[in-house]
Structure 1
Amino acid sequence: MARPPRFDTDQLLDAAVRLAAEGGPAAVTMAAVAQAVGAPSGSVYHRFSGRTTLLAEVWLRTVERFQEGYFAALTDASPPSGGAGGPGPDPARAAARAAARHVVVWSRAHRDEATLLLYGAQDFGRAEWSEEHIRRADSGNARVFASIGGLAADLGAADERGRDRVVLALIDLPLSLVRRHLRAGEPLPPHAEDLAEECTAALLR
């Protein structure tokens, strides 16, 4: 019977996430990942054909994990429990508040991953990614923005100004709250989730 691999893909990507959070994308190399887990370099090359593939996979795994929860919040019509301002009768506004809150909740629970996402796909070598990696990235982004577009329509955002307001409320605003603390090396304050939700609700009122 063949022995199971000692170092699996997720273990290697977890190490890459930590390296990126501590030193940025430049810190994520095949040798650094191998050293971080105590693996021979061959174990890393066995799972990733090269650094470009490694960078693509660590970015995509991180952003896809974030998007799953964000997409669920956007498409969940039930009002959030225990959020600032209490449950409201409008499912679209409840979903918007839940989505903004998710940004902070997820970032608090996954600090290294959230720090990684302060960068962009271009910082992780998107220009050199394979067609499959680019397809995965574009597909995930399209899925989320289609949901935001549908929510904007439900909120009555019929013109460009209104749609920009929704994007600001659901993406830019909660991300700016997270970014400020992560870049300062500070923990997110205990009121961050409520504050993100309050501000999103106020902007969409």
Structure 2
Amino acid sequence: MPRPPRYDQSVLLDAAVELAAAAGPAAVTMAAVAKQTGTPNGSMYHRFPQRAVLLAELWLRTVGHFQEGYLAVLDSDPEPRRAALAVARHVVAWSRAHPREAAVLLHGPDAFDRADWPEEYAVRADRGNRRVLAAVSGLAEQLGATAPADAERVALALIDIPLALVRRHLRGVGRLPAHAEDLAERCAADLLATGR
């Protein structure tokens, strides 16, 4: 039976998240992650053959965790308006529960050198984004938002406004106020009511 790896990839990615959250994507280097975890450089390069792979894995793991939760909430209620309001709250609640990961996502994939990722990582990122956009589009249809402007309004309510709320607080004072989920829900409700 083979030995389990001594330097687990999840431990290395946890350290990369901490570095990125504290000092931005530029702080995530092979040497910095190795130093933070006490990992030999050779083991780092065994796990991540180049920095672009480390950054891609960091982004994909983080955005994947967010997207899975987002999709689960979106599918959790058969009534589309309640599902929409729940998912607007979820963006804020997830960010509150995972502030370092939220800080990573607020930078966006381009800050993690997406243009340099090997193709397989870009394909995985695109696949995840398509799943979320398809789910939001499907919910928009259930809400009767079939015109392009109406679909845009739903995306604004369920993606852009909750993220803007998170961004303003996490990039400012570093924490979300107690009323943030309620505010995200209220904004979503107002936008969804506009099209009726």
Range class of TM-score, shorter chain = over 0.9
Which shifted more, 108-117 or 38-47?
38-47
| Equivalent-residue separation in structure 1 for 2:2 and 2:51 (angstroms) | 28
Give the Cα separation in 1 of the matches to 2:6 and 2:122. Answer: 30
**Structure 1 stretches of 4+ moved >4 Å:** none
Deviates more, 1:38-47 or 1:106-115: 38-47
Q: How much does 1:151 deviate?
A: 0.5
SS across alignment from 2:12? helix
Provide the identity percentage: 62
User: What whole-Å deviation, never above 9, does each CA across 1:157-194 have from its counterpart, x for those lacking one?
Assistant: 12111011001100011011100011113311111111
Uncovered stretches (5+) of structure 1, i.e. residues with no partner = 79-90
What is the TM-score normalised by the length of structure 1?
0.91
State the match for 1:85 in structure 2: none
Change (3 A) 1:73 1:2: closer
Q: Structure 2-normalised TM-score? A: 0.95
**Comparing 155-164 and 49-58, the one that deviates more:** 155-164
The residue that corresponds to 1:174 in the other structure is: 162
Amino acid at match of 1:137: A
- The reply to whether residue 183 of structure 1 matches residue 171 of structure 2 is yes
The one-letter code matched in structure 1 to 2:109 is: A
Matched, 1:35 2:23: no
User: 2: CA distance between counterparts of 1:186 and 1:25?
Assistant: 17
> 2 CA distance for matches of 1:25 and 1:3?
32
Q: Give the secondary structure class of the aligned counterpart of 1:186.
A: coil
C-alpha displacement of 1:6: 2.4
Structure with the largest fraction of helix: 2
Q: Deviations over 1:73-93 (max 9, x none)?
A: 112225xxxxxxxxxxxx111
Give the aligned length.
193
